[in-house]
């Protein structure tokens, strides 16, 4: 596809030029060298940050390019199986410092979205934002009944800018996949589609409101956990009004230490909440960094009662469907039993395996990893280190994990890291181990066994109902001589075409060489002209076939 023919690049020409310029400035645009656009050559040049690593240059470039690229970096930081741990760790540092919109712009947005004046909606509204992130900013407000709330408002024009950037990034991903063998292994087009779906969901505050309500229902019977109450009548796609929490953020280490609260207990209780979300509910908060957790002030001073833990920012969530739950339970059972063969089966079942997948080599790598960690007691077990290494093994064997699996692994790593900030002795594996035992008991419980038997009986019943008729049809056609077997050969047509072309090229060369040796007229400088022309054409054809074979071999290796 020719880049200059793409309509969205005509609409976004200035932004596209800016994106490519920033990539070139940081030495990240070499893969665009084959694109036939004159001005690309003018902006590609020597970059001035040679002292930085490639991973650091990628982070700096994404920061400079703004919201959409920062969000892409944050999503890629959850995919160490795809980009590797060094780049994932570097991209995890990305933070958007987006300036807040002017007060009149914010008020206009709220009034337009909610269909009433700001004085009608709120008794008090602070025009100065208390915080501003990449997509929205947050303002304190008070309802007419005295309830303290915060109002999250989407930045004006951010959706249009993100959509334009997504168009540019999608086309750049297509070019990268076409032009760069090195970038093709990162599956840029597939990754961009996943990112586009994720980001468009995050732009819709209605989804975050529904997530909050779901979490509140799941933890309605736990008085020590608080999810902010949302106000649907004061919310919309671009505005979200929710209960205001007052307390100590888990990111404020000095205040936590001065509070006198038992941080070991907080670490254990907070991690237990997320483990329950994952293994009990199958619906979990996917961003458990310290800034999204808070010890609420109304009970922080009362040591007689458990301190409430408030959970903020429910925009990014993960879901575990029945299929993933089955694999997760099998993985937990295999991990408890240190069964490398079973873990290998789970990895191969969950991920997309490449052509020529070497299962014994994967099992050997996993067995070595298990042996390395086997001597550790449960209290000493480094779950984050184990998950990092198993992800690296998966990446080395070029297995592509679905986004939902990669997100779950990243959440477990982040969860242990957050808990370690509160309690260095905390061990997430101790919390997860009981779920492995429960998974084993549940898997072999009479109810589960009966469900599997019933499913198998239903499958056999369907098979028995259709087998006689299908078998009779096959025998009938066989008797009448109409029994055909249709074979489908993938990628066979290009191979046959090359084979035929190669035979023709060889025949042309041999025939032309015979004309030359027989001095068939007309002659030029003692050489047969038709023989010389035939040999030249055969050489050009042979070079074309050789080049085509080499290119297809490289593509096959990448696939």
236 has a pLDDT exceeding 50: yes
At 303 the pLDDT is: 47
At 488 the pLDDT is: 60
259 has a pLDDT exceeding 60: yes
350 has a pLDDT exceeding 60: yes
CA distance to 274, 384, 520, 550, per residue, from 77 (Å): 20, 15, 69, 34
At 5 the pLDDT is: 45
Summarize pLDDT for 370-397 with one digit per residue, the tens: 888 877 776 677 778 888 888 888 888 8
Summarize pLDDT for 208-232 with one digit per residue, the tens: 999 999 999 999 999 889 999 999 9
At 299 the pLDDT is: 44
At 277 the pLDDT is: 92
- Tell me the C-alpha distance between 494 and 335, whole Å: 45
Report residue 44: phi and psi, to 5°: -75, 130
At 8 the pLDDT is: 55
At 456 the pLDDT is: 64
Summarize pLDDT for 320-333 with one digit per residue, the tens: 888 888 888 788 77
Summarize pLDDT for 475-489 with one digit per residue, the tens: 777 777 666 666 565
438 has a pLDDT exceeding 50: yes
- H or E element in which residue 308 lies: none
Higher pLDDT, 287 or 40: 287
Looking from the CA of 534 toward its CB, the CA atoms found within 13 Å total 20
Under a CB-based contact definition with an 8 Å cutoff, are residues 262 and 268 in contact? no
At 518 the pLDDT is: 76
At 154 the pLDDT is: 93
1 has a pLDDT exceeding 50: no
Q: Which residues of 429-452 are buried (b: 16+ CB within 10 A; e: fewer)?
A: bebbbebbeebbeeeeeeeeeeee
| Residue 319 zone, left/alpha/beta (φ > 0; ψ -120 to 50; rest) | beta
- Tell me the C-alpha distance between 254 and 258, whole Å: 6
Report residue 440's pLDDT band, with 50, 70 and 90 as the boundaries.
low
340 has a pLDDT exceeding 70: yes
428 has a pLDDT exceeding 90: no
At 454 the pLDDT is: 60
Under a CB-based contact definition with an 8 Å cutoff, are residues 276 and 288 in contact? no
- Tell me the C-alpha distance between 309 and 266, whole Å: 8
At 152 the pLDDT is: 95
Count of CB atoms within 10 A of residue 202's CB? 18
At 503 the pLDDT is: 86
Report residue 42's pLDDT band, with 50, 70 and 90 as the boundaries.
low
Report residue 26's pLDDT band, with 50, 70 and 90 as the boundaries.
confident
- The pTM assigned to this predicted structure is 0.71
Under a CB-based contact definition with an 8 Å cutoff, are residues 46 and 191 in contact? no
- Tell me the C-alpha distance between 138 and 154, whole Å: 9
Under a CB-based contact definition with an 8 Å cutoff, are residues 134 and 70 in contact? yes
At 10 the pLDDT is: 55
Higher pLDDT, 499 or 42: 499
At 405 the pLDDT is: 86
Cα of first residue to Cα of last residue in the chain, in angstroms, is 21
Q: Show the tokens assigned to 379.
A: 């209290």
CA distance to 3, 68, 92, 389, 466, per residue, from 188 (Å): 17, 15, 19, 24, 44
Q: Alpha helix locations (H) across 351-402?
A: 359-373, 383-396
Under a CB-based contact definition with an 8 Å cutoff, are residues 314 and 207 in contact? no
- Tell me the C-alpha distance between 539 and 536, whole Å: 5
309 has a pLDDT exceeding 80: yes
Average pLDDT over residues 538-549: 82
Average pLDDT over residues 340-351: 88
CA distance to 111, 129, 249, 291, per residue, from 107 (Å): 6, 12, 28, 27
Q: CA-based Rg of the chain, rounded to a whole angstrom?
A: 31
Highest mean pLDDT among 30-44, 122-136, 423-437, 492-506: 122-136
Higher pLDDT, 259 or 300: 259
4 has a pLDDT exceeding 70: no
Average pLDDT over residues 226-255: 92
Q: Show the tokens assigned to 479.
A: 């008797």
At 521 the pLDDT is: 81
Calculate the CA 487 to chain-centre distance. 36
297 has a pLDDT exceeding 70: no
Going by their DSSP bridges, the two strands 247-249 and 317-319 should be labelled as: unpaired
Summarize pLDDT for 97-131 with one digit per residue, the tens: 678 899 999 999 999 999 999 999 999 999 999 98
At 36 the pLDDT is: 53
Residue 173: strand, helix, or coil: helix
- The pLDDT mean for the chain works out to 81
Under a CB-based contact definition with an 8 Å cutoff, are residues 123 and 144 in contact? yes
43 has a pLDDT exceeding 60: no
Going by their DSSP bridges, the two strands 317-319 and 523-524 should be labelled as: unpaired
Average pLDDT over residues 185-204: 84
Q: Enumerate the β-bridge partners of residue 295.
A: 248, 309
Question: Vertex 307, ends 306 and 312: CA angle to 5°?
Answer: 135
At 63 the pLDDT is: 87
Report residue 75's pLDDT band, with 50, 70 and 90 as the boundaries.
confident
């Amino acid at each position: 596809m020719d880049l200059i023919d793409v309509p969205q690049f005509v609409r976004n020409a200035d932004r596209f030029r800016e994106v490519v310029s920033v990539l070139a400035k940081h030495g990240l645009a070499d893969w665009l060298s084959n694109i036939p656009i004159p001005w690309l050559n003018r902006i590609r040049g020597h970059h001035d940050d040679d002292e930085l690593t490639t991973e650091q240059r990628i982070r700096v470039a994404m920061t400079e390019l703004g919201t959409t690229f920062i969000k892409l970096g944050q999503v890629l930081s959850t995919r160490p199986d795809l980009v590797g741990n060094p780049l994932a760790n570097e991209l995890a540092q990305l933070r958007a410092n987006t300036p807040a919109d002017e007060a009149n712009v914010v008020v206009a947005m709220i009034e337009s979205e909610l269909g009433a004046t700001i004085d009608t909606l709120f008794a008090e509204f602070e025009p100065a934002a208390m915080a501003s992130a990449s997509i929205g900013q947050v303002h304190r407000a008070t309802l007419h009944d005295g309830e303290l709330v915060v109002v999250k408002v989407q930045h004006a024009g951010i959706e249009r800018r993100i959509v334009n950037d997504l168009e540019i990034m999608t086309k750049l991903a297509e070019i990268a996949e076409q032009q760069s063998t090195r970038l093709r292994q990162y599956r840029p087009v597939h990754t961009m589609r996943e990112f586009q779906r994720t980001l468009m969901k995050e732009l819709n505050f209605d989804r975050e409101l529904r997530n909050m309500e779901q979490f509140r229902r799941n933890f309605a019977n736990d008085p020590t956990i608080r999810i902010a109450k949302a106000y649907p009548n004061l919310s919309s796609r671009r505005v979200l009004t929710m209960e205001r929490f007052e307390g100590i953020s888990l990111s404020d280490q000095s205040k936590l230490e001065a509070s006198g609260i038992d941080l070991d207990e907080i670490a254990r209780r907070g991690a237990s909440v997320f483990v329950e979300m994952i293994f009990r509910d199958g619906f979990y908060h996917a961003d458990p960094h310290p800034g999204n957790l808070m010890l609420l002030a109304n009970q922080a001073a009362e040591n007689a009662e458990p301190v409430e833990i408030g959970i903020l920012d429910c925009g990014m969530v993960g879901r575990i469907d029945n299929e993933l739950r089955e694999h997760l339970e099998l993985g937990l059972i295999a991990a408890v039993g240190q069964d490398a063969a079973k873990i290998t089966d789970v990895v191969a079942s969950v991920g997309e395996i490449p052509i020529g997948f070497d299962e014994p080599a994967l099992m050997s790598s996993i067995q070595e990893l298990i042996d390395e960690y086997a001597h550790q007691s449960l209290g000493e077990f480094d779950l984050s280190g184990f998950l990092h290494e198993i992800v690296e093994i998966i990446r080395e064997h070029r297995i592509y994990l679905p986004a939902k699996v990669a997100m779950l692994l990243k959440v477990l790593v982040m969860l242990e890291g957050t808990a370690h900030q509160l309690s260095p002795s905390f061990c997430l594996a101790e919390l997860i181990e009981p779920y492995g035992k429960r998974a084993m008991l549940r898997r072999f419980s009479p109810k589960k066994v009966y469900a599997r038997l019933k499913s198998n009986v239903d499958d056999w019943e369907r098979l028995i109902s259709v087998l006689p008729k299908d078998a009779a049809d096959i025998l009938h056609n066989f008797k009448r001589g109409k029994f055909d077997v249709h074979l489908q050969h993938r990628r066979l047509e290009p191979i046959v075409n090359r084979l035929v072309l190669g035979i023709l090229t060889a025949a042309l060369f041999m025939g032309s060489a015979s004309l030359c040796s027989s001095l068939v007229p007309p002659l030029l400088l003692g050489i047969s002209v038709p023989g010389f022309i035939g040999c030249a054409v055969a050489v050009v054809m042979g070079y074309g076939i050789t080049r085509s074979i080499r290119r297809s071999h490289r593509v096959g290796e990448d696939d």
